[in-house]
Amino acid sequence: MNLFLVYLLAALLFLVLLISLGFQPKNLQKLFGIIFIVIGIGGIGFYGYGYFHLYGGNIVSVMRTLFAVFCMFLGRNEIGAISQVEALSAPWAQVCIYTIHLLALYSTASTVVAGIGTRLIRRLNLLLLYHKEISVIYGAGDAQINFAEKLQAEQNAIIVFIDTGSGGDSTRIMHMGSLLMSDDAAREPLPSFIRRIGMSPGSKRLHVYCLDENSVGNLRYAEKLRSCLRKEGILPSQTDLTILTDDASAGSSLQVSPRYEQSGGKEGVYGFGSVMALERPELSARLLIRAYPPCRTMRFGSKGVADEDFEAIIVGFGRTGQAVLRWLAMNGQFCGSTFHVLVIDDQYTQKAGSFFTRYPGITKYLHIDFRQDNARSVQVYNYLHTCVGRLNYVVVCTSNDEENARVARDYKNFLRSRGNQAMVLQCSEKGVTYFSEPDGLPVVIDPFRPEVLCAGKLDRMAMILNHQYCLSMGRTLEEDWANCDYFSRMSCRASADYLEAYLCAAGLSRDEVRTAGWPDDPELLENLARMEHDRWCAFHYAMGYMPMPEEVFEARAKQRAAEIEATGSSSLRIAKDTEHRLHACLIPWEELGALSDREAQLTGHRPAYLQMDRDNVLMVPEMLRAEAEGESL
């Protein structure tokens, strides 16, 4: 071995030891306890053997052996003395003796060296920030770290955790190759933080996840970060945000306004390029639909028509139960099927005043009943008995985990004993729980998952739908998305989220439709378009919309005509009143053609409302291809 190799190997081993101390495991005491035993046995063995042969079997040999072993932990050694013994001067013996000394020094210096190793890893990760996309996670608790580990498996990005005072597990974070920042510049944040993570105008993307337990803190951080990004000249198109909040409408204020994009930043409101705001109950409801979509509980004929109605029960109508009802409504509409949900809560009238006020269309235009009974009452079990042959879906969300488990297990046993295999699920802010088959053990699905919290893949599909609506504008797909307001993006995402229902109804797989497109079957496609319209209506009811009265429709037509006469043009859509949450298209599918004719009569322009639903279905193969391309990135 030449001199260069000696230097190289020594340097590499030193670096490995240094960095390994920065990755100290949780069971550090146990590890060093084992190392201490190995050092003690090895030290006493080698030094005892050496001094015995040098001084014989007396107390001097014992004391010299003990002194030498303790000196090992202080970085001193007596190797020269025992090397006079022929057996200990052999190369193999020397390697063993030096290894034991190195372990002793390693264990003693661990506290000091660990800090150096940690700083070295931190500097390496900071260097990588300048060359990779960045995901900033506000919050560093176990839930956020679990999410980051799943996210890391899907994205080639450096993850930066912002410590909110929850005492993030720095060791675990470093094991991931991520960074934990707790200084004021990162937590406030300040513009210097933007520069530190390597963001510059037009350079790379920044994904932000505000996932702390404190929803107010999430909103505050997102607003301050937005201000910093603007000061540093970061383009909205470089950023996206997922935020947990007490009010999902905050998403609209955090997203860049279309006018800002259209004016090149001279007008409008600066914001994140894409925003997904979720209330905590919504997060679990979204997970529920993602993990167990209602379409999987249905049987369909050859033409996309359901062979049965969708029948569900929701137990508990607090915030989680209300979110579950909205998401079930948005995802439980099928051609030829009646959507029916029974809500069971003995105090629902005391809990749901705000819900009925915000979403009057859900209970008025969808088949939803309420029972003010205890979920375990005789009356409820009598009802279960009457619907056991048609029940598809049960969700228990009483806001009490023990009660959820008790009710869900009892319902499941009741249904199984009568041959019903309906899903019986528990839903809470902790996630979705079900009892596994056949052992009946509870399995919890954590809501902090990329497929629930990341809008990237969903947005790629939603952009295609939005572009289809805007073909007459002559813009690119990306330009159309930039000019799309927050609610319209939510609507496109909801349609993309419903994609599996189209496939279930058609009896086709993702691969089949992605590669060969839809079959040449006009009746099937027309039924899927009807289904899409029912879904669209349910989405708008779940967002607080109501059908537009005829007199409002006519008044808006007159307003549009007046604007054209005064200015030569008008951007007013007479069929949609965003401010008052009214839409003229919230009517049965069969009446859409007449609505188009009526609008043509009033404005001279005939929107093809029926064709819009058909086009959404026709875009599914392209959406699936976009989804596949996103997975391969």
- What residues does each domain of the chain span? 15-112, 130-278, 283-451, 483-632
Q: How far is CA 555 from the centre of its chain?
A: 43
Q: Can you give the pLDDT at residue 366?
A: 96
Q: Can you give the pLDDT at residue 236?
A: 93
Taking the C-alpha atoms of residue 489 and residue 275, their distance in angstroms, rounded to an integer, is: 9
From residue 604, alpha-carbon distances to 56, 237, 555, 558, 559 in Å are: 115, 37, 15, 12, 14
Q: Can you give the pLDDT at residue 180?
A: 87
The dihedral over CA atoms of 37, 41, 42, 46, expressed in degrees to the nearest 10, equals: 160
Query: Among candidates 483, 474, 567, which has minimal Cα distance to 273?
Result: 483
Which CATH topology does 130-278 take?
Rossmann fold (3.40.50)
Please tell me the chain's helix, strand, coil percentages from 3-state DSSP, rounded to the nearest 5. Answer: 60, 10, 30
Taking the C-alpha atoms of residue 339 and residue 390, their distance in angstroms, rounded to an integer, is: 12
Q: Spell out, as residue ranges, where the chain has pLDDT lower than 70.
A: 1-33, 74-76, 106-131, 166-168, 471-473, 630-633
Instruction: Output the CA angle 445-447-451, nearest 5 degrees.
Output: 100
Taking the C-alpha atoms of residue 468 and residue 540, their distance in angstroms, rounded to an integer, is: 20
Query: Among candidates 448, 449, 450, 541, which has minimal Cα distance to 494?
Result: 541
**Structure tokens belonging to residue 19:** 């960095």
Coil vs helix vs strand at 338: coil
Q: Can you give the pLDDT at residue 632?
A: 45
Q: Can you give the pLDDT at residue 294?
A: 96
Residue 307 in contact with residue 269, Cβ under 8 Å?
Answer: no
Q: Can you give the pLDDT at residue 520?
A: 93
Q: Can you give the pLDDT at residue 468?
A: 79
pTM: 0.81
User: 114-171 pLDDT, tens per residue?
Assistant: 444 455 555 555 555 556 788 999 999 989 999 998 888 777 778 889 998 866 677 7
For residue 320, give every residue at least 6 positions away whose Cβ sits within 8 Å of its Cβ, in sequence order, or none.
281, 284, 285, 397, 399, 427, 428, 429
DSSP per-residue codes, 254-286: HBPPHHHHHTTTSSS---BSEEEEE-HHHHHHH
DSSP summary character for residue 294? G
Taking the C-alpha atoms of residue 623 and residue 478, their distance in angstroms, rounded to an integer, is: 15
Q: Can you give the pLDDT at residue 37?
A: 78
Residue 118 in contact with residue 22, Cβ under 8 Å?
Answer: yes
Query: Among candidates 105, 59, 97, which has minimal Cα distance to 81?
Result: 97
Taking the C-alpha atoms of residue 349 and residue 364, their distance in angstroms, rounded to an integer, is: 16
Q: How far is CA 145 from the centre of its chain?
A: 12
Residue 221 in contact with residue 181, Cβ under 8 Å?
Answer: no
At 241, give phi and psi (nearest 5°).
-135, 135
**Structure tokens belonging to residue 65:** 């052996």
The dihedral over CA atoms of 522, 523, 525, 526, expressed in degrees to the nearest 10, equals: 110
Domain 283-451 of CATH type 3.40.50: yes
Coil vs helix vs strand at 429: coil
Query: Among candidates 451, 458, 153, 422, which has minimal Cα distance to 290?
Result: 451
**Radius of gyration over alpha carbons of the chain, in Å?**
32
